[in-house]
Structure 1
Amino acid sequence: MAEYQDCPDYLKEFLFYILTIRGRSKRTVDAYYIDLRTFLRYIKCVKIIKQDPDNQDDFSKIQIKDISIEDISSITLSDVYAFLSFAANDRDNNAKTRSRKVSSIRSFFRYLTVKSNYLKTNPVENLEVPSIKKSMPRYLTLEESLELLTRIESSNYERDFCIVTLFLNCGMRLSELVGINLYDIRENTIRLLGKGNKERMIYLNDACQNAISAYLDVRTPPNNEKHRDALFLSSRGTRITPRRVEQIIADCLRQAGLEGQGYSPHKLRHTAATLMYQHGNVDIRVLKEILGHVSLSTTEIYTHVSNTQMENAAKNSPLSNVTPVKKRRAPKVSKSD
Structure 2
Amino acid sequence: MPDERWNELFAALRSNRDRAILALGISNAARASELLGVRGVDVDWGDQLVRVERKGSQAEQWLPSSPESFIWLRLYQSEGPPLDPQAPLWWTLRRRDHGEGLAYQPMNYEALRAVFRRANALLGTNWSMHDLRHTAALRMARDKRLTLRDVQTILGHAHLSTTADIYLVEEEEQVIARVQEYLADREERAKHPVSPTAVASGYEASDLAVLFGGAQA
**TM-score > 0.5, shorter chain as reference:** yes
Match of 1:170 among 21, 28, 53: 28
Residue of structure 2 aligned with 1:244, choices 111, 124, 128: 111
Q: What is the TM-score with the length of structure 1 in the denominator?
A: 0.47
Quote the residue 2:97 is aligned against.
none
In 2 relative to 1, CA 271–182 (structure 1 residues): closer, same or farther, beyond 3 Å? same
1:303 corresponds, among 148, 157, 168, to 168
Residue 214 (str. 1) matches residue 68 (str. 2): no
Residue type at the aligned position of 1:215? Y
Structure 2 counterparts to residues 184-203 of structure 1, below 5 A: 184-186=42-44, 187=46, 188-195=48-55, 196-203=57-64
Secondary structure of 1:202's counterpart equals strand
Counterpart of 1:183 (choices 38, 41, 53) is 41
Structure 1 segments (4+ residues) deviating >6 Å:
none
The percentage of aligned residue pairs carrying the same residue is: 23
What amino acid is aligned across from residue 193 of structure 1 in structure 2? E
Q: Which moved more, 1:207-216 or 1:302-311?
A: 302-311
TM-score, length basis structure 2: 0.71
SS of residue paired to 2:61: strand
* Alpha-carbon spacing, 1:316–1:283, altered in 2? closer, same or farther (3 Å): farther
- Deviation string 1:102-144 (CA, Å, 9 cap, x unpaired) is xxxxxxxxxxxxxxxxxxxxxxxxxxxxxxxxxxxxxx22221
* Gap change, CA 1:220 and 1:313, over 3 Å in 2: farther
Q: Is the 8 A contact 1:164 1:249 kept in 2?
A: no
**Other-structure match for 2:131:** 267
Q: Report the CA distance shift for 1:313/1:242 in structure 2 as closer, same or farther (over 3 A).
A: same
2-side partners of 1:168 and 1:180: how far apart? 16
Per the TM alignment, residue 215 of structure 1 is displaced from its structure 2 partner at its CA by: 1.1
Helix, strand or coil for the counterpart of 1:176?
helix
Aligned to 1:289: 153
Unaligned 5+ segments in structure 1 are: 1-139, 326-337
Tell me how many residue pairs correspond in the alignment. Answer: 178
Unaligned regions of 5+ residues in structure 2, if any? 94-102, 192-217
Root-mean-square deviation (CA, aligned residues, Å) is: 2.9
Q: Which has the higher strand share?
A: 2
